[in-house]
Chain A
Amino acid sequence: MHCSGLILTLDRDPVIRATTFECLERWPGLTLGERTEQRVAAALEAEHATAAIAAVEGLRGCPGVVHVDVVFAEVSAPCAAEDSP
């Protein structure tokens, strides 16, 4: 498992934002934490680091997500077999 800390910046429109939250709450491995009006802290758990990157890319494409910043990354977790250089 690989764990990342994220800041999600959401759309300014509260209607869109509400839909976005519905989507985020169902997102596999995502735990939502503290939030301000437009931003929410989150922890993302994924099978391995490559899956974490794919999940972050997926979150960037989630309607109402304006921006995703990764602010914490676990680097001790083993990589997926296909990650070997």
Chain B
Amino acid sequence: MTPTTDRREFLRASALAAAAATLHASSPRALAESPQPADSDVRWDKAPCRFCGTGCHVQVGVRDDKVVAIAGDVDADVNKGLLCVKGYHVGLALYGPDRLTQPLLRRGDRFEPISWDRALDLIADRIEANPARFAFYGSGQWTIPEGYAAQKFMKGGLGNNHIDPNARLCMASAVTGFLATYGVDEPAGCYQDLDACDVLILWGNNPAEMHPVLFSRVVDRRARGENVLLIDIGTRRTRSTEFAQRYLEFKPHTDLAIANGIAHLLLQRKTYDAKFVADHCAFRAMSDPPELNGRASTFDEYVKSLEPYTPEYVESISGVAADDIRFLADLFGDAKLKITSLWCMGMNQHTAGTAINSLVHGIHLLSGHFGKPGDAPTSLTGQPSACGTVREVGTLSHALPGGRLVANEDHRKECEALWNLPPGRIHAKPGYHTVLMWEKFCTPSDQGGDVDTLWVQVTNPGQTLPNLHKLFDRKAGLKDKFLIVSDVYPTATTRLADLVLPSALWVEKNGIYGNSERRTQQWFRMVSPPGDARDDCWQTIAVARRLFDRGMAGMKDKDGGFLFETKRDGVEVPIHDWAHYYDVNVDERLFEEYRAFTRKKHKDLAPYAEYVKARGLRWPVVQQADGSWRETRYRFAEFDDPYVAKGKGIQFYHSVSKDDRAQIWFHPYRDPPEVPDAEFPFWLCTGRVLEHWHTGTMTRRIPQLARAVPRAYVELNADDARALGVSNGEPVVVESRRGRIELAAWIDGRGRPPRGSVFVPFFDEMKLVNEVTLEAHDPFSKQPDYKKCAVRIRKRSAE
């Protein structure tokens, strides 16, 4: 056999072995243990996928310091060996031809290569000159140690709370919804709910494209003959709709009315779960002035508030037929069914995001569809560590690690003690949230723009911020502002950067992520980063050390030691020096420090070594009498959650009302801030597509994915297209009060918006739809609404 034939046979055998192992995923056989033919110099190791928040595990095949193959990991509970089209190409994300490989400093219109030493000095100079006017913009793609280091550097070091992540744009309303309802963040259930539910309700959610591996669990059950009723409540038909038995189309923003209509009927027909409510729930309504936790309400007030929401009234607001509202209420009123609600950006990117999140939780609580496998209100995240790094480490401008708040004096004292800081180091005032941070950065210093230096890591705000003209593009004319961007490729953000730092990506570094079901996942570095690219975590620590060496008090703990001091066998390891960064496992060092923060809110994490062995563990992870560590699948439920007191059944132990009860909220339906009118008669909704991940920085460099969906487009309703005289593929102008873009029309394509609505994906750097969107945001979560604003559509040729 020739070497080529040998290799082909090896690959065919590997492909068949991986597929067979997945077929028998319940068997203990792992891919790495599968028979390896001649070409066995490929080394395999586990890692979570780099893309979405599902947290699929992949097996990464490495040879000669290069990723050469990707397989689904059959030992992973999350995906049981399956991957989506992005996942199985994830290895190629490392090998785009234009990887950033050296620090670059802007000189006029050009970038000039500089050394890391010079780059770090420049950053330290900017911070030292005015630490209070420095801000850090991070990401739900930060690993947990990266986010933790940035958090400690800012809040514990600089005493500056201007740190916020891009996750503010994607799941902040889910956070405030959980907090307002249960007093603590993150879903109570887990992905096994998808295996156990009788009814799956998608609230403005398209998991067939956004979380395809999770969705395949439900499709697979159907294929096996199980009866799963899938209901899609949406504002346009999507790939998920193709699998749904019922599609209920609502007018944008009116999901609040639908939720209230269901609750109204449950009460009117007395089909709510009176015992569950009496035992485990309290009622809540908005306070004056409005606050996240509102004010205590009563059952009677709740009933009275819902009186207007008859099915006919809800139909008049939402467009969903009164009989369909009754159908939904029938389902929730049936105690025998197991009902799971799923949502993601549709409910979160919403100017009433906190309200609609709370209302959907409320329907589940009111009907008792909670706390049993298959009975769960569950939000999904879009980024691989939006939960782990943002929500748990607390890299938000108002948060501290482990569910603590900067505004809470006790929480600040606890953090100062754990970080060995002098009292008072942590500032009591929350920093700027994302929209405000960028507004301040893009406003001249003499006009109140008090953020001068902004460091972006692992995200692409030049493409994702809403109303880009206002929140990003205006930076171009401001000479005294300095933008630092750490990334792996040139992006829409680096185009305005003053300093660009090349970063290591995914398996080019150690990492830990936390997925949508509270699962913490670890991996090791497997290949070298290209050129002079380096870990983001190292970049933060190296800048901190520069400042420490210059004598900045904030970089010292109360004993004078460096904030990130690391020792091995009692001897300090200079991890700020790249040559020594991997002399120790910095991830392990930071993770073990961080673990101490996680117990207060019962988000306990196991030692790092446990995650090395596992394909992730769901917190709280609690040590057992025999020394082993046990994860928790269902929180607040006595049968699984170790923190529920014996005999309680269900216990909401972080209750807002401090009585172990969850809060059932009433929020009225109110009109959105911008609605179509005679001048701008269409709704615009933005979102993602299966083949690309978020801004496409990685997936557009994967030729197979780029070719599958090369350019953004605008989905048009066929009748609207006819009325506009637009044919398929024809260029049209999408224009709002804020900006305009040109796109090709796609009629009757993958998604089908109703008349009067259009959809544009945001992955395309050449077609920045956020030049058009609105920065209006939820009053509590501060999350902008990317799902609705008013636009007009014109044929380009008609201009």
Contact = CB atoms under 8 A, between A and B. Distances in A.
Nearest to B710: A85
B15 A72 contact: yes
Contact of B23 (A7, A52, A70, A72): A7
Contacts of B16: 5, 31, 33-34, 41-43
B38 to A, nearest CB: 15
Contacts of A38: 223-224
Given A31-B16, A36-B23, A72 B88 contact: yes
Contacts of A12: 223-225
Interface string B487-523: 0000000000000000000000000000000000000
Given A9-B223, A38-B224, A71 B22 contact: yes
Contact of A7 (B19, B91, B707): B19
A84 B92 CA distance: 13
B91 A5 contact: no
Contacts of A36: 23
A71 B82 contact: yes
Contact of A53 (B23, B85, B92): B85
A55 to B, nearest CB: 12
B69 A75 contact: yes
Contacts of A6: 15, 19
Interface string A49-66: 110110000000000001
Given A73-B89, A75-B67, A75-B70, A85 B703 contact: yes
B708 interface: yes
Contact of A85 (B15, B66, B85, B97): B97
A3 B11 CA distance: 6
B18 interface: yes
Contact of B704 (A1, A41, A49, A69): A49
Contacts of B700: 85
B20 A34 contact: yes
B8 interface: yes
Interface in B54-84: 63, 66-72, 81-83
A72 to B, nearest CB: 4
Nearest to A36: B23
Interface in A64-82: 66-67, 69-76, 79-80, 82
A50 to B, nearest CB: 6
Which of B67, B96, B220 has most A Cβ within 10 Å? Answer: B220
Interface string A15-45: 0000000000000000101111011111111
B292 interface: no
Given A7-B23, A38-B223, A43-B15, A71 B706 contact: no
B246 interface: no
Contacts of A41: 16, 19-20, 22-23
A5 B224 contact: no
B349 interface: no
A84 B704 CA distance: 9
A50 B15 contact: no
B85 A31 contact: no
Contacts of B89: 49, 73, 75
Chain A at the B interface: SS class: strand
B738 interface: no
Which of B19, B66, B216 has most A Cβ within 10 Å? Answer: B19
A85 B225 contact: no
B486 interface: no
Given A12-B225, A66-B223, A43 B70 contact: no
B701 interface: yes
Which of A39, A40, A42, A71 has most B Cβ within 10 Å? Answer: A71
Interface residues of A, number: 41
B230 to A, nearest CB: 15
B81 A71 contact: yes
A32 to B, nearest CB: 9
Contact of B70 (A31, A53, A72): A72
Given A5-B14, A85-B700, A85-B701, A73 B70 contact: yes
Contact of A83 (B20, B96, B216, B704): B704
B722 interface: no
B11 A49 contact: no
B69 A74 contact: yes
Given A34-B20, A83-B704, A85-B706, A72 B14 contact: yes
A59 B235 CA distance: 30
B219 interface: yes
Nearest to A33: B16
A44 to B, nearest CB: 7
Contacts of B68: 74-76
B648 interface: no
Contacts of B17: 5
B173 to A, nearest CB: 32
Contacts of B704: 49-50, 52-53, 79, 83
Interface in B695-723: 700-701, 703-704, 706-708
Contacts of A42: 16, 19
Contacts of B225: 12
B12 interface: yes
Contacts of B69: 72-76
B714 to A, nearest CB: 23
B707 A83 contact: yes
B15 A3 contact: yes
B711 to A, nearest CB: 12
B23 A43 contact: no
B71 A50 contact: no
B220 A73 contact: no
Which of B20, B82, B89, B700 has most A Cβ within 10 Å? Answer: B20
Interface in B757-787: none
Given A3-B15, A75-B91, A85-B96, 17 more contacts: A5-B18, A7-B82, A34-B23, A41-B16, A43-B19, A50-B704, A66-B223, A69-B83, A72-B72, A72-B88, A74-B11, A74-B69, A75-B70, A76-B66, A76-B69, A79-B703, A85-B701
Interface of B: 8, 11-20, 22-24, 63, 66-72, 81-83, 85, 88-89, 91-92, 96-97, 216, 219-220, 223-225, 700-701, 703-704, 706-708
5 contacts: A41-B22, A67-B223, A75-B68, A75-B70, A83-B704
Interface of A: 1, 3-7, 9, 12, 31, 33-36, 38-45, 49-50, 52-53, 66-67, 69-76, 79-80, 82-85
